[in-house]
Protein backbone atom coordinates (compact mmCIF):
# COMPACT_ATOMS: atom_id res chain seq x y z
CA UNK A 1 0.00 0.00 0.00
CA UNK A 2 1.64 3.18 -1.28
CA UNK A 3 0.70 6.17 0.90
CA UNK A 4 3.07 8.55 -0.90
CA UNK A 5 0.99 9.34 -3.97
CA UNK A 6 -2.33 10.56 -5.27
CA UNK A 7 -3.81 8.33 -7.97
CA UNK A 8 -6.06 10.27 -10.31
CA UNK A 9 -8.13 8.74 -13.07
CA UNK A 10 -8.82 11.16 -15.93
CA UNK A 11 -8.39 14.90 -15.78
CA UNK A 12 -10.71 17.66 -14.65
CA UNK A 13 -10.09 19.09 -18.11
CA UNK A 14 -11.77 16.16 -19.83
CA UNK A 15 -15.02 16.96 -18.04
CA UNK A 16 -15.01 20.50 -19.48
CA UNK A 17 -16.12 19.63 -23.05
CA UNK A 18 -18.41 16.92 -21.66
CA UNK A 19 -16.48 13.64 -21.66
CA UNK A 20 -18.62 12.12 -18.92
CA UNK A 21 -18.47 8.43 -19.86
CA UNK A 22 -17.18 6.31 -16.99
CA UNK A 23 -13.79 4.84 -17.88
CA UNK A 24 -12.71 3.16 -14.64
CA UNK A 25 -14.72 0.93 -12.32
CA UNK A 26 -15.12 1.83 -8.68
CA UNK A 27 -13.55 -1.52 -7.85
CA UNK A 28 -10.39 -0.72 -9.78
CA UNK A 29 -10.27 2.80 -8.38
CA UNK A 30 -10.45 1.51 -4.80
CA UNK A 31 -7.42 -0.68 -5.48
CA UNK A 32 -5.46 2.60 -5.74
CA UNK A 33 -6.76 4.29 -2.62
CA UNK A 34 -9.24 4.15 0.26
CA UNK A 35 -10.05 7.87 0.39
CA UNK A 36 -10.90 10.48 -2.25
CA UNK A 37 -13.41 12.29 -4.45
CA UNK A 38 -14.83 12.09 -7.98
CA UNK A 39 -17.96 11.89 -10.09
CA UNK A 40 -19.88 8.98 -11.66
CA UNK A 41 -20.60 8.03 -15.28
CA UNK A 42 -22.76 10.74 -16.88
CA UNK A 43 -21.56 13.35 -14.34
CA UNK A 44 -24.01 11.62 -12.04
CA UNK A 45 -23.56 13.31 -8.70
CA UNK A 46 -20.60 13.79 -6.39
CA UNK A 47 -18.43 10.94 -5.14
CA UNK A 48 -16.99 10.80 -1.63
CA UNK A 49 -14.63 7.94 -0.73
CA UNK A 50 -13.94 7.31 2.95
CA UNK A 51 -12.39 4.29 4.68
CA UNK A 52 -12.48 2.21 1.50
CA UNK A 53 -16.16 2.86 0.76
CA UNK A 54 -17.30 5.00 -2.18
CA UNK A 55 -20.53 6.97 -1.85
CA UNK A 56 -22.57 8.93 -4.35
CA UNK A 57 -24.35 12.13 -3.33
CA UNK A 58 -27.20 12.29 -5.83
CA UNK A 59 -29.01 15.27 -7.28
CA UNK A 60 -32.17 14.26 -5.37
CA UNK A 61 -30.25 14.68 -2.10
CA UNK A 62 -29.91 10.97 -1.36
CA UNK A 63 -26.58 9.34 -0.53
CA UNK A 64 -25.88 5.72 -1.48
CA UNK A 65 -22.90 3.41 -1.59
CA UNK A 66 -21.45 2.79 -5.06
CA UNK A 67 -21.12 -0.77 -6.37
CA UNK A 68 -17.70 -2.02 -7.52
CA UNK A 69 -18.95 -2.35 -11.13
CA UNK A 70 -20.08 1.27 -11.49
CA UNK A 71 -17.80 3.53 -13.51
CA UNK A 72 -16.32 7.01 -13.16
CA UNK A 73 -14.88 9.49 -15.70
CA UNK A 74 -12.83 11.34 -13.06
CA UNK A 75 -11.68 10.58 -9.55
CA UNK A 76 -8.72 11.14 -7.23
CA UNK A 77 -7.81 8.70 -4.46
CA UNK A 78 -5.01 7.98 -2.02
CA UNK A 79 -4.32 5.64 0.86
CA UNK A 80 -4.88 7.58 4.02
CA UNK A 81 -1.85 8.18 6.24
CA UNK A 82 -1.87 11.83 7.33
CA UNK A 83 1.44 13.23 8.53
CA UNK A 84 -0.13 16.05 10.51
CA UNK A 85 -3.28 16.57 12.54
CA UNK A 86 -4.60 19.44 14.60
CA UNK A 87 -7.88 20.86 15.85
CA UNK A 88 -9.73 23.68 14.11
CA UNK A 89 -12.68 25.71 15.30
CA UNK A 90 -14.86 28.66 14.33
CA UNK A 91 -13.62 28.92 10.75
CA UNK A 92 -15.56 29.65 7.60
CA UNK A 93 -14.52 28.23 4.24
CA UNK A 94 -12.44 31.21 3.10
CA UNK A 95 -10.59 31.49 6.42
CA UNK A 96 -10.12 27.73 6.57
CA UNK A 97 -8.56 27.60 3.12
CA UNK A 98 -6.30 30.57 3.80
CA UNK A 99 -5.18 29.22 7.15
CA UNK A 100 -4.56 25.65 6.00
CA UNK A 101 -2.68 26.73 2.87
CA UNK A 102 -0.47 29.00 4.97
CA UNK A 103 0.05 26.85 8.08
CA UNK A 104 0.89 23.72 6.08
CA UNK A 105 2.73 25.60 3.32
CA UNK A 106 0.65 23.99 0.58
CA UNK A 107 1.14 26.46 -2.27
CA UNK A 108 3.33 24.13 -4.37
CA UNK A 109 2.29 20.83 -2.86
CA UNK A 110 -0.29 18.12 -3.48
CA UNK A 111 -2.11 17.37 -0.26
CA UNK A 112 -5.19 15.57 0.99
CA UNK A 113 -7.23 17.54 3.47
CA UNK A 114 -9.70 15.85 5.81
CA UNK A 115 -11.84 17.51 8.46
CA UNK A 116 -13.93 15.44 10.87
CA UNK A 117 -16.24 17.10 13.35
CA UNK A 118 -19.09 19.51 13.90
CA UNK A 119 -20.08 22.12 11.36
CA UNK A 120 -22.27 25.13 12.11
CA UNK A 121 -23.41 25.16 8.50
CA UNK A 122 -22.66 23.29 5.31
CA UNK A 123 -23.70 24.10 1.75
CA UNK A 124 -23.11 21.61 -1.06
CA UNK A 125 -24.05 21.24 -4.68
CA UNK A 126 -24.53 18.08 -6.68
CA UNK A 127 -23.87 17.82 -10.41
CA UNK A 128 -27.03 16.68 -12.24
CA UNK A 129 -26.98 13.42 -14.20
CA UNK A 130 -26.34 14.03 -17.92
CA UNK A 131 -27.46 12.02 -20.91
CA UNK A 132 -26.00 11.99 -24.42
CA UNK A 133 -25.34 14.15 -26.32
CA UNK A 134 -23.48 15.60 -23.34
CA UNK A 135 -23.47 19.32 -22.63
CA UNK A 136 -20.28 21.10 -21.61
CA UNK A 137 -19.43 21.21 -17.90
CA UNK A 138 -20.40 24.87 -17.60
CA UNK A 139 -23.76 24.24 -19.29
CA UNK A 140 -24.38 21.03 -17.33
CA UNK A 141 -23.74 22.74 -14.00
CA UNK A 142 -25.47 26.04 -14.79
CA UNK A 143 -28.45 24.84 -12.79
CA UNK A 144 -27.71 22.30 -10.12
CA UNK A 145 -29.33 21.41 -6.81
CA UNK A 146 -27.81 22.84 -3.66
CA UNK A 147 -28.22 21.38 -0.19
CA UNK A 148 -27.74 22.99 3.19
CA UNK A 149 -27.51 21.83 6.75
CA UNK A 150 -26.93 23.45 10.12
CA UNK A 151 -25.32 21.86 13.17
CA UNK A 152 -24.11 18.94 11.05
CA UNK A 153 -21.60 16.28 12.08
CA UNK A 154 -19.55 15.06 9.15
CA UNK A 155 -16.39 14.85 7.11
CA UNK A 156 -14.75 17.07 4.53
CA UNK A 157 -12.46 15.18 2.18
CA UNK A 158 -10.58 16.66 -0.73
CA UNK A 159 -7.33 17.92 -2.11
CA UNK A 160 -5.11 20.90 -2.55
CA UNK A 161 -3.16 21.01 -5.82
CA UNK A 162 -0.59 23.56 -7.01
CA UNK A 163 -2.14 26.09 -9.40
CA UNK A 164 0.34 24.91 -12.03
CA UNK A 165 -1.85 21.77 -12.31
CA UNK A 166 -5.13 23.58 -13.01
CA UNK A 167 -6.67 21.65 -15.89
CA UNK A 168 -5.10 18.33 -14.99
CA UNK A 169 -7.06 18.75 -11.77
CA UNK A 170 -8.48 21.69 -9.81
CA UNK A 171 -5.68 24.11 -8.87
CA UNK A 172 -6.15 25.01 -5.20
CA UNK A 173 -8.74 23.33 -2.97
CA UNK A 174 -11.34 20.85 -4.22
CA UNK A 175 -13.44 19.64 -1.29
CA UNK A 176 -16.40 17.29 -0.93
CA UNK A 177 -18.54 16.63 2.15
CA UNK A 178 -20.42 13.70 3.66
CA UNK A 179 -22.41 13.96 6.88
CA UNK A 180 -21.98 11.19 9.44
CA UNK A 181 -25.64 10.18 9.06
CA UNK A 182 -25.31 10.20 5.23
CA UNK A 183 -28.19 12.66 4.92
CA UNK A 184 -26.09 15.45 3.34
CA UNK A 185 -23.29 15.24 0.81
CA UNK A 186 -21.79 16.83 -2.26
CA UNK A 187 -19.24 19.27 -3.62
CA UNK A 188 -18.62 21.96 -1.00
CA UNK A 189 -19.71 25.50 -1.82
CA UNK A 190 -19.48 26.90 1.69
CA UNK A 191 -19.18 25.80 5.30
CA UNK A 192 -18.40 26.98 8.78
CA UNK A 193 -16.53 24.70 11.15
CA UNK A 194 -17.67 24.63 14.75
CA UNK A 195 -15.13 22.21 16.22
CA UNK A 196 -13.23 19.58 14.23
CA UNK A 197 -10.08 17.59 13.69
CA UNK A 198 -8.01 18.49 10.64
CA UNK A 199 -5.67 15.95 9.01
CA UNK A 200 -3.22 16.82 6.25
CA UNK A 201 -1.33 14.38 4.07
CA UNK A 202 1.23 15.72 1.61
CA UNK A 203 2.27 13.82 -1.52
CA UNK A 204 5.48 14.04 -3.51
CA UNK A 205 3.86 12.03 -6.29
CA UNK A 206 0.79 12.70 -8.43
CA UNK A 207 -0.11 9.83 -10.74
CA UNK A 208 -2.45 10.52 -13.65
CA UNK A 209 -4.12 7.52 -15.25
CA UNK A 210 -5.70 8.36 -18.63
CA UNK A 211 -8.58 6.63 -20.49
CA UNK A 212 -6.50 5.77 -23.55
CA UNK A 213 -9.08 3.30 -24.88
CA UNK A 214 -11.88 5.88 -24.97
CA UNK A 215 -12.48 7.12 -28.54
CA UNK A 216 -13.99 10.46 -27.46
CA UNK A 217 -11.00 11.18 -25.23
CA UNK A 218 -8.56 10.37 -28.02
CA UNK A 219 -10.37 12.67 -30.47
CA UNK A 220 -10.91 15.69 -28.20
CA UNK A 221 -8.86 18.82 -28.91
CA UNK A 222 -8.53 20.41 -25.49
CA UNK A 223 -8.19 24.16 -25.12
CA UNK A 224 -6.34 25.33 -22.00
CA UNK A 225 -8.04 28.73 -21.73
CA UNK A 226 -11.52 27.21 -22.00
CA UNK A 227 -10.60 24.60 -19.42
CA UNK A 228 -9.19 27.19 -17.00
CA UNK A 229 -12.24 29.44 -17.08
CA UNK A 230 -14.66 26.48 -16.93
CA UNK A 231 -12.95 25.07 -13.83
CA UNK A 232 -13.11 28.46 -12.15
CA UNK A 233 -16.83 28.64 -12.93
CA UNK A 234 -17.89 25.07 -12.22
CA UNK A 235 -15.53 23.74 -9.57
CA UNK A 236 -15.09 26.53 -7.04
ZN1 LIG B 1 -16.18 18.35 -6.74
What is the average pLDDT value for the chain, to the nearest integer?
A: 97
Number of H helices, E strands in the chain: 6, 14
Q: Judge whether residue 1 has pLDDT over 90.
A: no
The predicted-structure confidence for 137-172, as pLDDT tens digits, reads as follows 999 999 999 999 999 999 999 999 999 999 999 999
Q: 188 C-alpha to center of ligand 1: Å?
A: 7
Which residues have C-beta under 5 Å from ligand 1, the single-atom ion?
187
Neighbour tally for 84: CB within 10 Å: 12
Q: 123 C-alpha to center of ligand 1: Å?
A: 13
pLDDT band at 236 (very low <50, low <70, confident <90, very high): confident
The predicted-structure confidence for 73-117, as pLDDT tens digits, reads as follows 999 999 999 999 999 999 999 999 999 999 999 999 999 999 999
Q: Judge whether residue 54 has pLDDT over 80.
A: yes
Confidence at residue 79, expressed as pLDDT on a 0 to 100 scale = 98
Q: 48 C-alpha to center of ligand 1: Å?
A: 9
Structural domain total, the chain: 1
Instruction: Find, among 7, 17, 24, the residue nearest to 214 by Cα.
Output: 24
What is the mean predicted confidence (pLDDT) over 195-207?
A: 98
Domain of 43 in residue numbering reads as 5-234
**Torsions phi, psi of 52, nearest 5?**
80, 5
Q: Report the distance separating Cα 169 and Cα 115, nearest Å.
A: 21
Q: Indicate which CATH number applies to the domain containing 204.
A: 3.30.1330.80
Q: 75 C-alpha to center of ligand 1: Å?
A: 9
Q: 38 C-alpha to center of ligand 1: Å?
A: 7
E-strand ranges in the chain read 5-9, 24-25, 35-39, 46-50, 53-57, 63-65, 71-72, 74-78, 84-92, 110-125, 146-161, 172-179, 185-203, 205-209
Q: Report the distance separating Cα 216 and Cα 139, nearest Å.
A: 19
CB 171 within 8 Å of CB 163: yes
Amino acid sequence: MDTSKIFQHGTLGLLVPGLYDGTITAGELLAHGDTGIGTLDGLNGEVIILNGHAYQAREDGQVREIAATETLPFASVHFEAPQQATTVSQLDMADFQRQVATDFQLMNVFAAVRVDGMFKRVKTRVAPHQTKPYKTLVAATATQPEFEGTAVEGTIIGYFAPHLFQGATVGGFHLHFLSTDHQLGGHLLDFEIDQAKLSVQKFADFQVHLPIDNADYLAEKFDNDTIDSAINKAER
